[in-house]
């Protein structure tokens, strides 16, 4: 801009004026995420076992005003438990400040306000309803949620366990029965060695190990030897009349009659 007077010669001066046109803050912020229909409440589900510092949700608002007026800040307008969630005022991230406890309600209501930097400031709000669940859920693009269930113990495993148990039980019963039968099996009796019958006299003589000791005047010496055929050989003097002796040294399997006959037939006269 130049200013000049009417003198001769005229004198003038120049000045530069910068005019800044300020933007009028006439556009309020618009919530872009989480998306919701007009006037509706956003519902989200999170696992109850969520760790501390986990991202729960994120609010994104857009302002169509100029750069200065379009700066958005976020704040909690309403929260069920202020010690449970935190909100970043610049990026709108909602995170857990601690883990959920059994005392915390299953449903949490969060109201977030997004303000621009205009004067006066304009704002928009969004209501988020968080529901905690015991099992993890997977969200699909069509907003359907399917719980992830894992069938660890299937029917096939059950059948295998029953089969193995039955086989083990039958094997145990078989072993027990075999042991009982083996213990009750009679042992083969060993044949008793041939023994010699006692020599008895009418005069109360004493006989031991095929040797006859008598108080009579006659001494009898018996020499007994078993042959392979089981016969006896007896050598003795002829006893006196009335001094009767019955000598038997045959095996026990031999009858009494045979013993007497054999003893009588083997006596020899001197």
Does 201 share its domain with 110? no
Distance between CA 16 and CA 38 in Å, rounded?
50
Last residue of a domain, one of 121, 147, 173: 147
Residue 172 has what pLDDT? Answer: 93
| Residue 243 CB contacts under 8 Å (≥ 6 apart), including other chains | 201, 202, 203, 216, 218
For the chain, what percentages of helix, strand and coil (3-state, to nearest 5) are there? 15, 25, 60
Residues 133 and 33 occupy one common structural domain: yes
- With respect to residue 157, please indicate whether it lies within any of the assigned structural domains: no
- CA count, 13 A, side-chain hemisphere, 21: 0
Half-sphere exposure in the Cβ direction for 72 (13 Å, CA): 23
What's the pLDDT score for residue 186? 65
pLDDT per residue as tens digits for the range 211-239: 444 444 444 444 444 444 454 544 445 45
Is 165 within the bounds of a domain? no
For residue 89, what are the domain limits?
A: 26-147
| Same domain for 132 and 33 | yes
| pLDDT tens string 184-202 | 866 665 554 554 444 444 4
Give the residue from 110, 125, 147 where a domain finishes. 147
Query: Are 45 and 137 members of one domain?
Result: yes
What's the total number of domains in the chain?
2
With H, G, I as helix, E, B as strand and everything else as coil, classify residue 79: strand
Give the tens place of pLDDT for each residue, 85-140.
999 999 999 999 999 998 999 999 999 999 999 888 999 999 999 999 986 444 44
- Is the bond preceding residue 164 a cis peptide, omega within 30 degrees? no
């Amino acid at each position: 801009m130049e200013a000049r007077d009417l003198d001769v010669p005229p004198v003038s001066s120049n000045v530069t004026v910068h005019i800044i046109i300020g933007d009028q803050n006439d556009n309020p912020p618009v919530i872009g995420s989480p998306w919701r229909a007009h006037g509706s409440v956003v519902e989200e589900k999170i696992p109850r076992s969520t760790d501390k510092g986990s991202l729960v949700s994120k609010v994104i608002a857009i302002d169509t005003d100029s750069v200065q007026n379009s700066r958005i800040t976020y704040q909690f307008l309403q929260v069920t438990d202020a010690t449970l969630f935190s909100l970043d005022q610049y990026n709108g991230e909602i995170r857990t400040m601690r883990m959920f406890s059994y005392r915390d309600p299953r449903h949490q209501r969060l109201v977030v306000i997004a303000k621009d930097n205009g004067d006066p400031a304009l704002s928009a709000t969004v209501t988020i309803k968080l529901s905690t669940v015991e099992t993890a859920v997977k969200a699909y693009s069509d907003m359907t949620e399917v719980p992830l269930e894992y069938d660890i113990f299937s029917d096939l495993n059950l059948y295998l366990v029953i089969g193995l148990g039955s086989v083990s039980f039958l094997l145990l019963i078989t072993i027990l029965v075999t042991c009982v039968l083996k213990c009750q099996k009679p042992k083969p009796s060993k044949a008793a060695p041939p023994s010699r019958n006692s020599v008895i006299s009418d005069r109360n003589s004493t006989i031991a190990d095929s040797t006859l000791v008598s108080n009579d005047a006659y001494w009898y010496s018996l020499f007994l030897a078993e042959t392979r055929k089981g016969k006896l050989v007896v050598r003795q003097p002829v006893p006196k009349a009335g001094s009767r002796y019955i000598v038997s040294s045959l095996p026990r399997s031999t009858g009494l009659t045979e013993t007497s006959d054999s003893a009588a037939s083997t006596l020899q006269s001197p």
